[in-house]
Structure 1
Amino acid sequence: MTDTRRAIPTFHEQDEQTIRRLRRAERGKNIVGEEESEEEFQDMEERSTNPPEGGANNNPQQRRVLASYTFANARHYGSSILSPNVNANNFELKPQLITLVQNNCSFGGGPLEDPNQHLSTFLRICDTVKSNGVHPDIYKLLLFPFSLRDKAIQWLETFPKESINTWDNLVSKFLAKFYPSQRIIRLKTEVQTFTQMDAENLYEAWERYKALLRKCPPEMFTEWDKLQNFYEGLTLKAQEALDHSAGGSLQLMKTVEEAQNFIDMVANNQYFFAHQRQRQPSQRKGVLELERVDTILAQHKVMQ
């Protein structure tokens, strides 16, 4: 016997589109009990557009018009440096510390500015600040943006939000930008080809040479290379004066550390006597020259 009753189809619980179509069909037939209030229909429309959290959503992705791609999104704004977590409850970045960095350690990224010197000055300031339970790198990460200006701060802002999360990562990116390999090679060449100028005394040559070394990476030259480059760049007269003061030969009589201290002492003495001559009246020039010679001879006897 054939069952003439019409089978009632079963639909998925979340297939709102099919449910709405059937509801409209039932309302069109004016079947009692199948009418749907306008509020229920609107509620179903809202659920289909905004499904509840955690529920399955089989509907296609919501349409997005072209203009929406130009809208600003607040989630993309903020510092490129991730703010570190601080366990100390009393931690505070004081305005006086920020002002100290801005007034004494400012780097703009210009071609004549020294990124090595900037980092040295910045770290020296950060080393003066210590707090219990606060890692030193936290101060460095939070303070470093305040030490930049002009092109340098614009460069820092080009990185995505919170993409820099360690101090080592920040330093690596900073040196790669403002201390490229071409600049390092040029500085290395300047040190290796250093030459004392004709009108330059030992003190001036030594200070200029040390200024070149400070611009180079610390591991570029050994201590022996530094002294050897300087000695070979001196004039023959300056080499003879150093050898004589060293007791015959700077190369044979002094170790690396002793030679460096010895050159410092001779250069500083020369600087001292040069300023002493400038302060004294011209009529005492002959007396001062004799005193200078006697002092050098006395120092030479003491060293021997």
Structure 2
Amino acid sequence: MWESAKIIAPTPNSTIVRPVVDNNFVINSTHLNMIRENKFDGYLPADPHDDIREFLAICDMFKYGETQSEAVKLLISPFSLCDEAKTWFNELDEESKTSWEQMRTVFINRFFPPSLFNHLLLEIIRIMDITAGGIFLYKTSNQAFQFLEDKVLFKLDWSTKSQNDHHQESVAFANGSNSNYDNSRLMEELEAPTIKIDS
């Protein structure tokens, strides 16, 4: 009696509304496997912008019909997520995403929200104020340009250890005695992809 009275909860529909494609539409299996091997987990200090760039770079390696490329990005985007990021995706409203741009926007807003961007910008401005010996934003355009030209030297440090090594950006000060931050400390501050924000 109790067995027959059990109510089974329905399986929720996907967040993604399946785009209209022709019957011959097939996603390349190699493409899908490459996406699965480069998953974004959503944990700090993972950078969602890096994930999007990697995702698009992989997608650009495979050619589909002009209208199908966007459909492919939308349909395979869930396979690029795991752990916390996949949990977030599964909690989105059912059938709420109809385009890759919608998916990209909600993804960035979740894992790199405007509040975080503003926080990082303030951190960079603070560093610039310390280095400039005053409020950097109060300087005129000419003063700011002169400061950057005289005090901060951006250079590329090309590694010769291996052809597979990527170049690294570094920052050096023309007069190190004028700064309380050494090169490595400044680069850590500038390159930090995420900073915890107190709620």
* 2:15/2:93 contact within 8 Å kept: yes
**Contact 1:81/1:163 (8 A) holds in 2:** yes
Q: Render the CA deviation track for 1:273-296: whole Å, top value 9, x for unaligned.
A: x969xxxxxxxxxxxxxxxxxxxx
* Contact 1:193/1:233 (8 A) holds in 2: no
Q: Percent identity?
A: 27
Unaligned runs of 5+ in 2: 129-140, 162-199
State the match for 1:180 in structure 2: 113
| Superposition RMSD in Å | 3.3
* Equivalent residue for 1:152, pick from 66, 82, 85: 85
Residue pair 2:31, 2:59 contacting (<8 A) in 1 also: no
Q: Hey, what does 2:103 align to over in structure 1?
A: 170
Deviations 1:156-200, CA, capped at 9 Å, x for gaps = 1112332211222212221221112221112212332346xxxxx
Bigger-Rg structure (1/2): 1
- The TM-score normalised by the length of structure 2 is 0.60
**Equivalent residue number for residue 86 of structure 1:** 21
Residues 133 and 186 (structure 1), Cα distance of their counterparts in 2 relative to 1, 3 Å cut: closer
Offset at residue 126 of structure 1 (A): 1.4
SS of the residue corresponding to residue 193 of structure 1 reads helix
Cα separation, 1, equivalents of 2:109 and 2:127: 26
Q: Which residue of 2 aligns with 1:71?
A: 8
Structure that is richer in strand per residue:
2
Greater RCO between the two (CA within 8 Å, min separation 6)?
A: 2
Q: How has the CA–CA distance of structure 1 residues 191 and 232 changed in structure 2, closer, same or farther, with 3 Å as cutoff?
A: farther
Q: Confirm whether residue 107 of structure 1 aligns to residue 44 of structure 2.
A: no
SS of residue paired to 2:50: helix
Letter in 2 for 1:84: P
Cα drift, residue 115 of structure 1: 0.9
In structure 2, what is the Cα distance between the partners aligned to 1:163 and 1:144? 14
Partner of 1:152: helix, strand, or coil?
helix
1:191 paired residue number = 124
Confirm or deny: 8 A CA contact 1:80 1:161 kept in the other structure: yes
Q: What letter corresponds to residue 71 of structure 1 in structure 2? A: I
- In structure 2, give the amino acid aligned to 1:185: N
Tell me the distance in 1 between the aligned counterparts of 2:90 and 2:36. 18
Does the CA-based 8 Å contact 1:80-1:159 persist in structure 2? yes
> Which residue of the partner structure matches residue 132 of structure 1?
65
Identify unmatched segments of 5+ residues in structure 1. Answer: 1-66, 196-224, 243-262, 277-304
Instruction: Find the residue that maps to 1:118 and give its secondary structure.
Output: helix
